[in-house]
Chain A
Amino acid sequence: MSNKAMNCRQVKRLLPPYQDKELSGRAPDEIAAHLASCPACRSELEALTADIGLLQQAGAPEVTPFLATRVMAEIRQRHVAPRRAFRPGWVLSVAAGVMLVALSLGVGTLVGSGLAQGSTSATGDDIYATATADPSLDTYQSLMGGE
């Protein structure tokens, strides 16, 4: 800011930031000095203050009390629940493990049966014979009406 006193046009341009207390340095004092001696600029500041006051009187509706609840429910649904509900790596590992165990038990049973019959390897006929010899299958067939 120059040493020269501000004129009315300069002061009027700076009235909004002056009113908002946003000016620094010597500007606020220079404007205050100008206002003290200039009724027109003083009147302009009063009118500006009154209009901003009118704006401030206009209210806004209250926010719904459920906004925060809705926001958090949406966030949990989108970002938390899916992570906990579905973890493909974990699910696939367990499934693979279960299948391996089941396969091992099945093969072990069949091989064991083959050994018991004095055979070193299970053929198709052996497997059929072992399976049809299972008493639980008889129960199943009788229940289903099979032969």
Chain B
Amino acid sequence: MSDDRSTPSAGDDRELVVRAQAGDMAAFEELVRRHQQGLFSYLYRMCRNSSDAEEVAQAAMIRAWEKLAGFRGASSFKTWLYRIGTNLCLNLRTRRKPVEELPETLAAPDSERPEQAYQQKMREDAVQGALAELPADQRAALVLSVYQDMSYKEIAETMGKTVRAVDSLLFRAKTNVRKALAEDRAKGVI
């Protein structure tokens, strides 16, 4: 399931960025509305809870407005925005002491098919757990690839790394996630 449900192409954003740089707040608001769901979903998987994800998404968008004059369009607006969000998220996690994060209910359980709903919940918990165990840079690369449909080049731009480094991060991330899921399968969790 990609989180990138309605995100437009970089070309569509470019005109809005130019207008926003000239002070057109309506154009910037359109950019915010276009990217809010994707950015929030990405940050939810990075921060591991909704309230932090919302706080960071809001801060990232405000920072983007403040820094918009310096955005030269070398990368897409999306990867630039996600980079701001990534940095803010990592800073937030560094500042705070590690806390036990509670799994959040994503959807109301299906009362007509409780067995399937239970299994789906177990699978989601297993996936969230496997992602949570990854180091932050591996998690960021994997989430951007799997849920945001970003190419390795876009992930590299977002994370400020080379494409080769992203390839290496993704290889390690996928290996680690598969190990975690294999353990859950062995325990009969999924």
Q: What residues of chain B have their CB less than 8 Å away from a CB belonging to chain A?
A: 1-3, 25, 28-29, 32-33, 36-37, 40-41, 44-45, 50, 54, 57-58, 61-62, 65-66, 104, 106-107, 120, 123-124, 126-128, 131, 142, 145-147, 151-152, 167, 170-171, 174, 177-178, 181, 190
Name the residue on B nearest A57 (C-beta). Answer: B1
On whether the beta carbons of A54 and B127 are closer than 8 Å, the reply is: yes
B127 touching A58, Cβ below 8 Å: yes
The DSSP consensus for interface residues of chain B is helix
Q: How far is the CA of A55 from the CA of B143 in the complex (A)?
A: 9
CB pair A60–B152 under 8 Å, yes or no, is no
Minimum distance in angstroms from B45 CB to a CB of chain A: 6
Question: Chain A 54-83, CB within 8 Å of chain B: the 1/0 string?
Answer: 111111111110011011101110111000
Cβ–Cβ contact A52 & B171, under 8 A:
no
Contact assessment for B123 and A22 in the assembled complex, using a CB-CB cutoff below 8 Å:
no
Residues of B within 8 A of A9 (CB): none
Tell me the number of A-to-B contacts counted with CB atoms below 8 Å.
Answer: 102
A51 at the interface (CB under 8 A from B): yes
A33 at the B interface (CB under 8 A): no
Whether A17 touches B146, Cβ cut-off 8 Å, given contacts A54-B123, A54-B127, A58-B1, is: no
B44 to A79, Cβ gap below 8 A? no
A79→B20 CA distance, assembly (Å): 14
What's the least CB distance linking B149 to chain A, in Å?
10
Inter-chain contact A63/B123, CB cutoff 8 Å:
no
Known: A74-B58, A75-B25. A60 touches B171 (CB 8 A): no
